[in-house]
Amino acid sequence: MDINTIAQMAGVSRATVSRYLNDGYVSQEKRAAIKRVIDQTGYVPSRQAKTLRTGKTDVVGVIIPKINSASISRMVAGITRVLNDAGYQILLANTDNDASREIGFLRLFTERRQVDGIILMGTVFTPEHQTALKECRVPVVILDQLLAGWPCVHQDDYAATREIADLVLKTSKAPGYIGVLEEDVSAGELRHRGFLDSCAARGVDVAEDAQAVAEFTVDSGYSCAEGIMGARPETDALVCATDSIAYGALTYLREHGIRVPEDVQVTGVGDGELSQIVTPRLTTVHHHYKTSGSEAAKMLLGLMTGTDTVPREIKMGYEIVRRASTR
C-alpha cells in the first residue's frame, strides 16, 4: 500500500493525496474519499519519506541518566505532556549514569537525523560533552543541570539543601551528610555546599568521617549511615542528598534501635511517593520536577520552531516538606 494506490482507490490524483497527508487544501468531497480509503486500509504514511520531504522527523530525543528514578519519571511525564500535545513522539535513551553513553546518544541522534531536538538530563559535563553539544545539528535543552551558554531548566539545589540543613541545625549539634559524587554538580557539589555553608554559619565543624559519598540507592544509603554512625556515634542528624539515600539511612537506624527523630534526624531531597509512607515519614525537599520537564519541553519547542532563539535559563522554585523524621 502506497500513496499511488490510495489515490487510485479514492479516485483522486497522487498530488491530492499528498496535499491531504501534509494538511494542504483538499475539497471536502475528496478529503472524505481519501479518509475513507485510509480508514479501510489502515495506511500509515512513511516516516522516512516525510523526513526526506520536509526535513522533520516529529521526534524528540530525551537522554536520561537512569530509568528507575521517581524524579526522572516526573520530569519525563512533564516532557511528554507538552510534546505529545504538540504532535511529537519521544525517543528515550537511558545511559545508566554512564557519561560516555550521553555523548554517544548526542551524536547518534544528530548524525542519523533521527530527531528534531534533544532534551539532555546530564550528570557531568566534560570537554567531550561540550564538543558533542557544539556538533549537534538540532536544538538541545539541558534539564536538571546548569550549563553556561546553553538553554537550561534546573533546580535551586544549593538553596534548598541549605534551608533544610538550617531546619535540622535548630536542634542538632553533630550533623552528618550523605551525598553523591560531586562531578554531578547539581545533586553532588551544590547540595553538599549548601549543607556545609549552613553548618559554617552556625559554627558547626563537620568531621570528614561524618560525611560520605553514596550511590543513588537505598542500599548505599544504608551502608553510608552505618559507616558514619560507626565512626561518629554522637551524630544526631543525617542530611541526605536524595530520598533514596535517606530511606537507606532510616532503615539502618531503625534496625539498630536508634530513634528517629528523637536520637537522629533524617532528611532527603525529592519528595517521592515513598517519603509519605516510610516510617517515620520523611522530611524532604519538594522540587517541581514535572513542571521542570514541561518547561524544558516548551523551551525546546520554541527553539525547534524558531520562535525562541536566545538561550535562556530557568531556575525552579522548591518547598521544604516537614514530616516526622525531624524535630
Q: Residue 114 has what pLDDT? A: 84
User: What is the spatial distance between Cα 276 and Cα 271, in angstroms, rounded to a whole number?
Assistant: 8
Q: Residue 249 has what pLDDT? A: 98
Q: Is the pTM of this model over 0.75?
A: yes
Q: Residue 255 has what pLDDT? A: 97
Cα distances (Å, whole numbers) of residue 323 to 156, 160, 284, 327: 21, 16, 8, 9
- Render pLDDT for 13-39 as a digit per residue (tens, 0 to 9): 989 988 888 778 899 999 999 999 998
Q: Residue 48 has what pLDDT? A: 54
Q: Residue 19 has what pLDDT? A: 86
Type of residue found at 168: V
Q: For residue 186, which of 213, 149, 166, 160 has the smallest C-alpha distance?
A: 160
Helix, strand, coil % over all residues of the chain, rounded to 5: 50, 15, 35
Type of residue found at 42: G
Tens digit of pLDDT per residue, the chain (327 long)?
A: 788 898 999 999 989 988 888 778 899 999 999 999 998 988 877 655 555 455 678 899 999 999 889 999 999 999 999 999 999 999 999 999 899 999 999 999 987 678 999 999 988 899 999 999 999 999 999 999 999 999 999 999 999 999 999 999 999 999 999 999 999 999 999 999 999 999 999 999 999 999 999 999 999 999 999 999 999 999 999 999 999 999 999 999 999 999 999 999 999 999 999 999 999 999 999 999 999 999 999 999 999 988 877 789 999 999 999 999 999
Q: Where are the alpha helices (DSSP H) in the chain?
A: 3-10, 14-21, 28-41, 47-54, 70-85, 99-111, 127-135, 157-169, 191-201, 218-231, 243-255, 289-305
Q: Residue 102 has what pLDDT? A: 94
Whether the link from the prior residue into 280 is cis, omega within 30° of 0, is yes
